[in-house]
Amino acid sequence: MVELWGLFLSSFISSTLTLLLGGSELLLLYLAGQGGVHDSLLLWGIATLGNSLDGTTSWGVGLLLAWRFLFSGLSRKTPSCSGAVASSGAARPAALGD
């Protein structure tokens, strides 16, 4: 039973953290090769569930962050070039006027 939870956690984490790519696949192959201790379909289902839940979690966090920045107005606060030039004391063309 502990192996199944380990497979679930490994598959949940490995689809987000790129440092652990392949970890859940190796664990899945190891558990499947133990000689029938666990059903292969059960192992596949647990690994699929972990990967799917992690993908959904990542999508949800991205959606929440997008909504937060959209409604807080941070996405519209971009510095303008004219303000940067005026504050730096650079010469402006005479056509713009003072």
Give pLDDT tens digits for 32-44: 888 777 888 988 8
Q: Domain limits of the chain?
A: 2-74
On the CB side of 91, CA atoms within 13 Å amount to 2
Please state, in angstroms and rounded to a whole number, the distance separating the CA atoms of residues 89 and 33. Answer: 71
Predicted model pTM = 0.60
Using CA atoms, how far residue 37 sits from 10, 34, 83, in Å, is 19, 6, 69
Cβ neighbours of residue 45 closer than 8 Å, sequence gap 6 or more? none
| Residues 42-79: tens digit of each pLDDT | 888 998 898 889 889 888 988 898 888 877 765 455 55
Closest CA to 67 of 58, 75, 55, 79: 75
Residue 87: the pLDDT is 55
